[in-house]
Chains A and B, each alone.
Chain A
C-alpha cells in the first residue's frame, strides 16, 4: 500500500486548488510537505488564506445584510399578494351585484355607526382613477379596469420574486465563504515550472519536480484529464495491490501492468509520474522488492507492450535503487526473478541483474527521459543474466529499447512470448529475497 500512498501524494499535488489545512489525512499531509518543499527552492507559488481575502466578520455582516434585505422583500411580496387577492374579490363582487335591482345593506356612517339602507343603481360604479378623478362605469367596464390593475400587481410580484432570487444567491455565496474562511481554507496558486528530470537524487526532489510540473494553475483542463487518468490508474493499482496481497505478492505486477497500460495513453507526464512513483517507492525498499519480485508472478502479464516498457522502467528503477543498497539482494532478486515465470518479475530481476552487472549503466537508466530506453536496458541486462533460464520468462511481452548489451534481439524475442502466470512461484522470490536481505 505504500506505493499507492506515494502515488496518491502526487495525485494530491496535481490539484492546485484549496487545501484544507485542518484535515490531516496522509494525502493532505504529504501534499503540504510537497508544497513546503516546493516553495522553498522554487518559490513560485503563493498561498493566500481565504480568511485573509474575505475576513470572517465582514462576510458574516454582509450575509446578515443580505438576509435583512431578503426579509424586506418578502414582506413587500406579502403585501402585494394581499392586494391581488382583494382585487380578485372585488371583481367577483362587481360581477355579482348587477344581478339584483336593490341590495339591503347596512350603510356605514363614519367609522362607528350604521344606517340600514339599500344599494341602488346596481350597475353604476364610481371608480377612483387617482388624483381625485373618478370614473362612473358599468359593471363590465369596472371589471376590465380591475383586471388591468391586477396585471400591474402581477408584474410587481414577478419583479419582487426575481430580486429575492438574486438576494438568495448572494446570501448563499456569503454563507459558503464565511464557512470556508472560518475553517481556514487556503488558496494556493503555483506557477508552471520547467520540467527538470535530470536530478533524481532524492524523493523529495522528484516530488518537487512532479509537483511543480503537474500543479500548473494554468492548464486546468489538462490537469483535469490527467487527474482523471491518474485516478483510474490509482484504482487499477489499488485493485492490483489487493490482488497481490491476496496472492501474497502478485499485486505489484498488476500495478506495473496497470501503470504500463496507463502510461501508454499518457505523455511525458505519465512517465515522470511513474518515475516519481518509482522514486517514491524507493522509500519502501523491502516492499517494493517483494512487489517487484511478485510482479513477475502476476497473472496480468499480457498487457500492452508499451505498458510493459513503462513498468519495466518502473521496476528497473526500483530494482536498480535496491541494488545500489543491497548488492547481495541483487543477486538474490535475480535468482528469485529467475524462478518466477512472469515477465514482470523477470524484468525486475533483470533490473537487479543489470545492477549487478553494470551498476553504472543501470543508474543512468532512471535518469533518462526516454521510457523506452529503460526497458531495453532492463531487457538486455536480464538477457545477460537470465539467459539460461529464459524459458521461465515467457510472459514478458514488452517492447525493448536499445542498449549496449548483446543478446538484445534474442532477449526481445524471448520476452515477447506469453506465458501463464504462476502464483505459486511468486512466493519463492519473496522468500529468497527476504532470506538474503539483512
Chain B
C-alpha cells in the first residue's frame, strides 16, 4: 500500500507543478497587462481633465525620436484629440467625448480585471486542494503508525 500511496502522492505533486502552477503564472501575467491598460487610460483621463481645467489651447512638448533623443514639438490646437479605441483605430474626439469614451473604456477594463482575479483565485484554490490531498495521504501512514504505537 505504501508504494501505491507514494505513487499517488507523486502524481498529485506532478499535477500541481506541471499544470496548476504554470496556469497560475499565466493568469497573473494577463491580469498585469490589463492593469497596465487601466493605468494608461486613467493617466489620459487625468491629463485631459488637467487640460480642460487650465484651458490649454496649445502645447509645447518633447517628442522621443528613439533611444531617448528628444525634439521639440508644438501642438497648436489641443481641441481635437485622437484616441486609440483598439484594433488599430484612432478616433478624433473633443475633450468631453474623449472623457466619456475613456470612462466607458475604464469600466470594461475593470470587468476584465475582475474576471482574471476570479480565475486566479480558482487556480489557487485548486492548488490548495491538491496539496491538502497530498497531506492527507502522507498523514494517514503517520496516523496508523501512531495508533499502533498507542496499542
Chain A residues in the interface with B (C-beta under 8 A): 86-87, 89-90, 93-94, 97, 105-122, 124-128, 134, 142, 146, 149
Contact = CB atoms under 8 A, between A and B. Distances in A.
Interface string B51-87: 0000000010111011111111111111011111000
Question: Top 3 closest A-B pairs, CB basis?
Answer: A128-B68, A117-B75, A126-B70
Contacts of A146: 67, 69
Contacts of B77: 116
Contact of B81 (A90, A109, A124): A109
Contacts of A115: 59, 75, 78, 80-82
B61 A86 contact: no
Given A93-B65, A105-B63, A118-B76, A113 B83 contact: yes
B6 interface: no
A146 B12 CA distance: 56
A116 B69 contact: no
A114 B69 contact: no
For A89, A113, A118, the residue with the greatest tally of chain B CB atoms inside 10 Å of its CB is A113
Interface of B: 40-41, 43-44, 47, 59, 61-63, 65-78, 80-84, 90, 98
Contacts of B83: 112-113
10 contacts: A105-B63, A113-B83, A114-B90, A116-B75, A117-B59, A117-B61, A119-B73, A121-B72, A128-B70, A146-B67
For A106, A110, A149, the residue with the greatest tally of chain B CB atoms inside 10 Å of its CB is A110
Nearest to A102: B74
Contacts of A116: 75, 77, 80, 82
Contacts of B40: 110-112
Given A112-B84, A118-B76, A146-B67, 19 more contacts: A86-B67, A90-B67, A107-B59, A107-B61, A107-B73, A111-B40, A112-B40, A113-B81, A114-B82, A115-B81, A117-B76, A118-B73, A122-B71, A125-B65, A126-B69, A126-B70, A128-B70, A134-B70, A146-B69
B100 to A, nearest CB: 14
A182 B123 CA distance: 45
Contacts of A114: 81-82, 90
A119 B41 contact: no
A416 B63 CA distance: 105
B102 to A, nearest CB: 9
Given A90-B67, A126-B62, A107 B75 contact: yes
B44 A125 contact: no
B82 A124 contact: no
A116 B74 CA distance: 9
A90 B65 contact: yes
A144 to B, nearest CB: 13
Nearest to A112: B84
A89 B66 contact: yes
A146 to B, nearest CB: 8
A113 B69 contact: no
A87 B73 contact: no
Given A113-B83, A115-B78, A105 B73 contact: yes
B65 A94 contact: yes
A109 B43 CA distance: 10
Nearest to A121: B72
A121 B71 contact: yes
Contacts of B67: 86-87, 90, 146, 149
Contact of B69 (A117, A119, A122, A142): A142
B72 to A, nearest CB: 5
B98 to A, nearest CB: 7
Given A113-B98, A114-B90, A108 B63 contact: yes
Contacts of A128: 68-70
Contacts of A149: 67
Contacts of A89: 66
